[in-house]
Amino acid sequence: MLLIFFSLWGCTATCEEVCTTLQSCDALDQGVSHALDCTSSCLSQQEEATLDGNTETFDTLKSCLNSSTCEEIELGVCYEESLYSW
């Protein structure tokens, strides 16, 4: 049971991982100039999602962004209307 918990726990991308992915996409205008700004914004949005009961949706968004290509992200494959993208 504990092994299942830890394997599920490690599945969600971190804000740092997502920002590394986003920073590698030259064509994206992120509105942030530094990886630290991106991570800080992501963490703030993550906290807001937690307070709003949208933790699972936000985790899904992070995982999608982390596993998608820049072209897919540009096309909006990870867009989630109920969340504010940092």
Per-residue pLDDT of the chain (86 residues; tens, 9 = 90+): 434 433 344 578 999 999 999 988 987 766 656 667 889 999 999 999 999 999 999 999 999 999 999 999 999 999 988 887 66
Locate 33 and state its tokens. 């100039």
CA distances from 6 to 2, 10, 47, 48, 81 (A): 6, 6, 22, 24, 30
Contact (Cβ atoms closer than 8 angstroms) between residue 15 and residue 39: yes
Locate 61 and state its tokens. 């968004």
Which pTM does this prediction carry?
Answer: 0.78
User: CA 11 to CA 34: how far, in whole Å?
Assistant: 25
